[in-house]
Amino acid sequence: AQSVSQHNHHVILSEAASLELGCNYSYGGTVNLFWYVQYPGQHLQLLLKYFSGDPLVKGIKGFEAEFIKSKFSFNLRKPSVQWSDTAEYFCAVNAPDKLIFGTGTRLQVFP
Amino acid sequence: EPEVTQTPSHQVTQMGQEVILRCVPISNHLYFYWYRQILGQKVEFLVSFYNNEISEKSEIFDDQFSVERPDGSNFTLKIRSTKLEDSAMYFCASREREIRDTQYFGPGTRLTVL
C-alpha cells in the first residue's frame, strides 16, 4: 500500500539549531517526492521536490532534502533554522497523480 | 504570482444539508484536485479531474460527493447530504500540464457540520 511516514510529530528548536525531519515512503512505482510547508494561517506551499537525477535537492529558504532509495527515505534538512521557519511540514509522494501525504511535523522555533 | 483561491474560507452547516465549496484554479492549469484534512489527521486525496471528467477518486469520495467545472474558471466540490464526519479542511489544488509540474494548493475551506 502507498504510504508516507513522518516520525517526528512535534519538533522544538532554538534559532540557529540544525534541523532534520524524517520521511519514509512506501510506493511501488516511480517515486516523485515532495516537501510542502504550511505557515500559520497560510496554505500549503512547495518547499522542494525530487523527480530524478541528483538525489540531493535544494529548495527555497535554505532547505534541502536527500532521496535515499535504499532506505525509502526523503529527509528534510536545514543547517540553521530561523524563527520564521515555525510551520507544519508535510512530506508527500506522487502516486502517480495524487499526492499521498504524511501526518506532518509541527516545527516550533524559539528565538 | 498566480494563486489558487477558495471560497468560502469557513462554512458552517447543519447535518444533512448540501454544501458547495468553490475553487478557482490557476488559469492555465489543466488538472484539478480536492484534498481534505480532518483536524489532527493527515491531508487525504479525494478526487482528481481532467478534461471535464474525474480521473481518479478515493474511497472517501462516495456518492455524496461530486465535482464540477461549471465554467472556464471555477471548480466545485459538492457534498449532497453532509455528515458530522465531513467536518474538515478542504483544499483545492491544480497543476499545469506535466506530471512533474507542481500541484499548487489553495488556502482551504474549513467545513463545520453541526
> Tens of pLDDT along A72-97?
999 999 999 999 999 999 999 988 88
Average pLDDT over residues A23-47: 89
Q: How far is CA B7 from CA A86, A97, B20, in A?
A: 26, 25, 9
**Is the Cβ of B61 closer than 8 Å to some Cβ of chain A?**
no
Sort out which chain B residues have CB atoms less than 8 A from A94's CB and list them.
Answer: 99
Interface of A with B (CB under 8 A): 32, 36, 42-46, 49, 51, 90, 92, 94, 96-104
Restricting to B residues 28-47, those with a Cβ less than 8 Å away from any Cβ of A are: 31, 33, 35, 41-45
Shortest CA distance from A50: residue in chain B:
B100
| Run of H or E residues at A5 | strand A3-5
SS3 content of chain A, % helix, strand, coil (to 5): 10, 50, 40
The C-alpha cell at B68 is 464540477
Q: What is the mean pLDDT of residues A9-18?
A: 96
Any residues with CB less than 8 A from the CB of B40 and at least 6 apart, and which? Answer: none
Task: Please write the tens of the pLDDT for every residue from B51-107.
Answer: 999 999 999 999 999 999 988 789 999 999 999 999 999 999 999 987 778 899 999
| Dist CA B55 CA B17 (whole Å) | 27
Amino acid found at A35: W
d(CA A48, CA A13): 22
Is B44:B61 a contact under the CB 8 Å cutoff? no
Q: For strands A10-14 and A105-110, give the pairing.
A: parallel
